[in-house]
Amino acid sequence: QVTLRESGPALVKPTQTLTLTCSFSGFSLSASDMCVSWIRQPPGKALEWLALIGKNDDGYYSTSLRARLAISKDTSKNQVVLTMTNMDPVDTATYYCARIRGGSSSDGAFDIWGQGTMITVSS
Amino acid sequence: QSALTQPASVSGSPGQSITISCTGTSSDVGSYNFVSWYQQHPGKAPKLMIYEITKRPSGVSNRFSGSKSGNTASLTISGLQAEDEADYYCCSYLGSSTWVFGGGTKLTVL
């Protein structure tokens, strides 16, 4: 069974750096074409794609947020970490991680999602 | 990259069919077959309903279908049911392992 679970601080202050962890099971980032993406959703608003990481250590980022994001993985722990710098109240959102198949076998589908973690940015 | 354009809301009566459009550009929807659709009920995580424009994951009702023409993709739900009431989002590949979602459409079953 494939599962993903997001974790992070519920509240961060403006200008701080947010660190989110996606813990997953049922697949491997090192032994397959599977990738993990981060996607966020401000309250009452649309989904926004943020970043992706796969088998290699390369991260891929939303052009609008590239300067503030960093994605990494710990293969031994089956975890993907997203950091976002200089947090602002407009970054208040539910942050999801989701699995997607990459490489030549990609089907372009975020097929399994975590339940999301709500992050509030406020002083 | 701007979000894909979806109607803010659509509605239909039980048993009817509705179609939600997703308009992009020749750089996203128009260039790739990696268009997917997600259903999201309030307070829940999105659920994959359609991928690669027309394919349905196992377990998704065949009342859901997808298509694409040029820069516009569409999701059609036939035989509307009360449980279909939700928000729907399209998503397209942008190239270079990057993605973009639509602005979302609220479906109301009257």
Give the pLDDT of chain B (110 residues) as one tens digit per residue.
Answer: 789 999 999 999 999 999 999 999 999 999 999 999 999 999 999 999 999 999 999 999 999 999 999 999 999 999 999 999 999 999 999 999 999 999 999 999 99
CB-CB contact of A38 with A96 (8 Å): yes
Q: To 5 degrees, how large is the angle CA B38–CA B40–CA B45?
A: 95
pLDDT in tens, A18-28: 999 999 999 99
Mutate to test the interface with B, among A64, A110, A115, A117 (most CBs of B within 10 A): A110
Please return the burial class of B76, using the count of CB atoms within 10 Å of its CB with bins 0-12, 13-18 and 19+: middle
Q: A58-107 pLDDT, tens per residue?
A: 999 999 999 999 999 999 999 999 999 999 999 999 999 999 988 777 88
The mean pLDDT of A15-40, rounded to a whole number, is 93
Proportion of chain A in helix, strand, coil states, percent, rounded to 5: 10, 50, 40
Q: Which of B31, B51, B99 to mutate to test the interface with A (most CBs of A within 10 A)?
A: B99
Q: For residues A55-60, give the mean pLDDT.
A: 89
Whether the per-residue pLDDT at A56 is higher than 90: the answer is no
Instruction: Count the helix, strand and coil residues of chain B and give each as a percent rounded to the nearest 5.
Output: 5, 50, 45
Q: Does B57 touch chain A (CB under 8 A)?
A: yes
Q: Secondary structure of A55-99 in the HEC alphabet?
A: CCCCEEECCCCHHHEEEEEEHHHCEEEEEECCCCHHHCEEEEEEE
Of chain A, the percentage scoring pLDDT greater than 70 comes to 100
Give me the pLDDT at residue B14, please. 97
Look up residue B43 and give its two tokens: 């307070």
Q: How far apart are CA A77 and CA B36, in angstroms?
A: 30
Q: What is the 3-state secondary structure (H, E, C) of B37-61?
A: EEEECCCCCCEEEEECCCECCCCCC
A39 touches chain B (CB under 8 A): yes
pLDDT beyond 80 at A116: yes
